[in-house]
Amino acid sequence: MAILADQDTKVIIQGITGREAASFTKDMLDYGTRVVAGVTPGKQGQKIHGVPVYDTVRGALKEHPVDASVISVPPGMVKGAVLEAVENHIKLLVVVSERVPRKDVIEFLEAAREQDARVIGPNTLGIISPERVKLGMAGGPVEDVKKAYTPGNVGIASRSGGMTTEIANLLTTHGIGQSTCIGIGGDPVVGSNFLDLIPLFDQDPETKAVVLFCEPGGIIEESLAELVISQKIALPIVAFIAGRFVDDMPGVRFGHAATIVEGDKGTAKGKIESFKKAGIHVAESFSDIVKILRNTI
C-alpha cells in the first residue's frame, strides 16, 4: 500500500485554469490519477482536459466526493485556498505554489492541524506512488515518470523536488522500486516533514526502507534522529546530505530558502553526527545509496 494517497484517491485542483496547473493536471490524468474537478473563481462551466471547473471548493464537493486537493495559485492567494479546502473537510493538501509569505504558511498550517488535515508543501513538486497516483508536478510528463519511477518497497522523502526524481531514477536503474515518493518542500516552514512522514513509512507494511535527501539548514534532521531513538524506529533509513560546503559559508542561502546555516545550527556535519548516533545510514556519495540499501533490505 502507499502512504497518503493511492489509486482510489479523488483529487481536485485549485487554480486549475492557470497555465502551470493545466499542464500538470494533464500529466496527472495521463498517469491515471482521479482528478474529478477543478476550482477557479469566475471560471465555472469551463473544462480543462475534460475536468469540470467550479467557482468554489464547496461547489465542486456538491458534485464530486474528494479526498485531496492540489493547490497552484498565486502566493498571496494560497492561504485563502488552503483555508477553503480545510473548511470543506479535505484532509490532504498538496501546495505546489512558491514564495508563499511565511506568516500565511504558519496561519494555514495551524488551521489544517485543527481540522486534522495534512499539508505537503508549500513549494513542493508533490507526491508519486509508482503506477498508482501522482499529485502535483513530481516527475513531469507521464513518459518521464514511467522511466524514473517503478513500484517497489523503498520510500523517498526529499527536501528537493527534483532530487526526488533523481533518487527514484537511481533506484529504478539498479532494479529497486519505490512505494511512495514525496517532496516535502524547500521552504523554511512546510507542512509535513521527515518527522511526520517517517512514522507513516514505518507503519506501511509495503515500505522496507526509506531514502532521505537532506540539505544544510534547519533542524529537522537532528530532530528526526531524536525521534528514531525515542520511538525505537527500526525501519532502515538511508540519508544523503547534499551541500556540505555550506557549513563553511554561514548565513548564505543556496537554492532553497531553507538551505541556510546560522552559526552551529543546521550544519551538514551536525546532521551527519546526529544520524549516525541514531543508527541512520549516511551515504557519503549519491551512488552509495544503492549499496547501503542492498545491504539492509
> What DSSP string runs through 195-224?
HHHHHHHHH-TT--EEEEEE-SSSSHHHHH
Q: What is the pTM of this model?
A: 0.93
Q: Angle formed by the axes of helices 102-114 and 78-87, to 10°?
A: 0
Q: How far is CA 57 from CA 12, 14, 280, in A?
A: 8, 8, 42
Domains detected in the chain: 10-296 (3.40.50.261)
Please report, to the nearest 10 degrees, the dihedral formed by the alpha carbons of residues 75, 77, 79, 85 taken in order.
-120
Nearest Cα residue to 73 out of 17, 142, 143: 17
In this predicted structure, the answer to whether residue 3 has a pLDDT above a threshold of 70 is yes
- The pLDDT of residue 266: 75
Query: What is the grid cell recorded at 275?
Result: 544520524
pLDDT of residue 167: 98
49 a catalytic residue: no
Using the predicted structure, report yes or no on whether residue 292 has a pLDDT greater than 90.
yes
pLDDT per residue as tens digits for the range 35-52 = 999 999 999 999 999 999
Using one digit for the tens of pLDDT, what is the confidence trace for 6-22?
A: 999 999 999 999 999 99
Chain segment 87-106, per-residue pLDDT in tens = 999 999 999 999 999 999 99
Listed in sequence order, the DSSP H helices in the chain are 19-31, 57-63, 78-87, 102-114, 142-148, 161-173, 194-203, 220-230, 268-278, 288-296
Q: Identify which of 203, 202, 184, 201 has the alpha carbon closest to the alpha carbon of residue 193.
A: 184
Torsion of CA 94, 262, 273, 228, to 10 degrees: -40
Of 64, 89, 256, 281, which is the active-site residue? Answer: 256
Position 136 pLDDT exceeds 70: yes
User: Model confidence at 254, in pLDDT bands (50, 70, 90)?
Assistant: very low
For the chain, the average pLDDT equals 93
pLDDT, one tens digit per residue, over 201-215 is 999 999 999 999 998
| Average pLDDT of the segment spanning 175-182 | 98
Q: Grid coordinates in use for 8?
A: 482510489
